[in-house]
Amino acid sequence: MGWGKTHGTQPSAGLTWAPDDLSAAAALGGAQLPAAGLLWWIYEATTQDDYGAGLGGALGVLCFLLFAPLLLPILGMVSAFALSLPSVVLARLAGRRFPGPGWVWHAVAPIIPALIWGVPAGVLFEWPLGTTVACLAALGLLPTLWVALVRRQAWRPAGVWWRAALGSVVLFVLAIGGGVLATETGLIQEYEPPKLTSAQLAGVWRGDSGAELRLRPDGSAEAVKLPTQPPFDDAHFRDYVRCQGSGTWEPDDDSDNTDRDGVLLKLDGDCGEDTHWSITGSEDSPELFVLFGDPDGGTLWKLGRAAAS
């Protein structure tokens, strides 16, 4: 049975769609989101620094799965209107005007809505344009093909939704296997913090709210409004204190038991305790960070290298 032969309620014109099309697009559009979200989380958890913050994004994934039955139909409807249904219309128009199998046009059509949404989103949020468009096209691909299949098979709405639910489970299992395989084979490169020499660590580092740390080559340091570990008798009440003054620093190859290079800062006086700053970022844009308080809900401070004046 060809892709051009359909049953059930059909749109009356090329630029419309039937209610059954909307139901099918929303069903699979929402059904694929748990797998897509899992792959995104695996990529982020593998390629980005978690700063030693406990479970990191895993808690968000668990919350999403908990409320998935309520959220997925709504998100699937948004996906249908933004990506799938425009792709279906474009595929049908192309199939009427150009030769070739119908499934080819349904597979290619999602690129157009992906470009329409992806280009402004990439510019507005400074996302990589190619990655943004590719992800949106991927999100529109399966639901677009699904709409064509549903029309061809003339499934009832209940049959569409339970098949989509079953497909969601299958996609989620495949995402687990694919994510594990990609990380184990190195297809997704695990994040590694840069290695900096003492000469590279020396310089001026700045953060939010006027925080500044000057590390001099001779081992002396100068701090301005810098967060530091609170005094021992104050640690139960505050995650950190803001200090300024002079002191010393030295490279630390196991900063605060994190198994990563960093800096041990010792300020004179009694404002705060010795503070370990770990290295993060990249070779081109290194940063120093420290997580104060509870790893699962503490306060993260980061310092970036100041531009040379």
Q: For residue 297, what pLDDT is reported?
A: 72
Q: Residue 226 corresponds to which amino acid?
A: L
Mean pLDDT, to the nearest integer, of 81-107?
93
Maximum Cα–Cα distance across the chain: 82
Own/partner contacts of 105-111, CB < 8 Å, gap of 24 or more, are: 106/3, 106/144, 106/145, 106/147, 106/148, 107/141, 107/144, 107/145, 109/144, 110/83, 110/84, 110/136, 110/137, 110/138, 110/139, 110/140, 110/141, 110/144, 111/137
Rounded to the nearest integer, the mean pLDDT of the chain is 87
Mean pLDDT, to the nearest integer, of 235-246?
84
Q: Contact at 8 Å (CB) between 50 and 60?
A: no
Q: For residue 188, what pLDDT is reported?
A: 92
CA distance 277 to 261: 9
Q: For residue 130, what pLDDT is reported?
A: 94
Task: Report the relative pairing of strands 275-281 and 262-267 from DSSP bridges.
Answer: antiparallel
Kindly indicate the confidence band of residue 309, based on its pLDDT and cuts at 50, 70 and 90: low
Q: For residue 7, what pLDDT is reported?
A: 43
Q: Contact at 8 Å (CB) between 24 and 160?
A: yes
Q: For residue 65, what pLDDT is reported?
A: 67
Kindly indicate the confidence band of residue 198, based on its pLDDT and cuts at 50, 70 and 90: very high
